[in-house]
Amino acid sequence: MRIIQAKDYKDMSRKAANILAAQIVMKPDSVLGLATGSTPIGTYDQLVEWYEKGDLDFSDIKSVNLDEYKGLDHGNDQSYYYFMHEHLFDRVNIKEENTNVPDGTKEDAQAECGRYEELIRSYGGVDLQLLGLGHNGHIGFNEPAPVFEKETHCVDLTESTIEANKRFFASAEDVPKQAYTMGIGTIMRARKILVVASGEDKADIVAKAFFGDVTPEVPASILQMHPDVIVVLDAAAASKIAEE
């Protein structure tokens, strides 16, 4: 695991975007695993800027997103489908048919999660997976649990995740209670993983996840076992590392 320290959010975003851009340049038909949440927004903005300058071409890129709320349709501005179109897909030349987000409108969780897992397999796996980090150490929507869930599955969101994400909804009651997410096994099969974390509120979990014990109670801690992980942190998110 390599930790790269950035000065601030902008610097973190540029460094993370550089790693994604290098992947796109080196392998123009890469399969990118993409993430939502507020942290990667600056990374996507930077990629769009480089695309607009003519430095990046997404025409052969395929993407698979980590997760989606169950029950939200594509038009819902809180769906991750909507988020990805707003922040990246509609701003670069990626082909719509090459972009994938689990379909939260599908009631049959087993069928949808199985389809998604099979789709990733048919793409030959993920070349580079971008991840944010939840306050409780979740990645995608893999919440702390007694075991690591391997495949794409349906999860019940924890109170702390609902609480953290309610800022995007009218109230906590409006936050969906379930989501579809790639499993820990799905994430760990990615050839490379890039984690971004920013802000003081992530400092404790950064120290715990990347320097503490590997345990399913801190899902991101499994990343310590992956052979090719880069974690890009701003100074605030890195501030508790020495204390662990």
Q: Which of 51, 64, 75, 188 is nearest to 118 (CA)?
A: 64
**With contacts defined by CB under 6 A, how many residues of the chain interact with ligand GLP?**
14
Burial of 22 (0-12, 13-18, 19+ CB in 10 A): exposed
**Which residues, listed in sequence order, are joined to residue 6 by a DSSP beta bridge?**
234
Residue 86's contacts (CB-CB under 8 Å, 6 or more residues apart) are 77
- Is 135 one of the catalytic residues? no
Three-state DSSP state, 107: coil
- Residue 4 near residue 101, CB atoms below 8 Å: no
How far apart are CB 189 and ligand GLP at their closest, in Å?
Answer: 17
- Is 201 one of the catalytic residues? no
CB-wise, 79 or 98, nearer to ligand GLP?
Answer: 79
**Burial 51-87, CB ≥16 within 10 A → b, else e:** beeeebebeebbbbbbbbbbebeeeeeebbbbbbbeb
CB-wise, 58 or 141, nearer to ligand GLP?
Answer: 141
Stretch that binds ligand GLP, among 12-20, 34-42, 54-62, 208-216 (CB under 6 A): 34-42
Three-state DSSP state, 119: helix
Question: Binding of ligand GLP at residue 140 (CB under 6 A)?
Answer: yes
Task: Compose the 155-194 pattern: x for residues touching ligand GLP by CB under 6 A, - for all others.
Answer: ------x---x-----------------------------
CB-wise, 27 or 160, nearer to ligand GLP?
Answer: 160
Binds ligand GLP (CB under 6 A): choice among 66, 94, 188, 238: 66
CB-wise, 100 or 165, nearer to ligand GLP?
Answer: 165
Residues annotated as catalytic are 67, 136, 138, 143
Binding residues vs ligand GLP (CB under 6 A): 35-39, 66-67, 132-134, 140-141, 161, 165
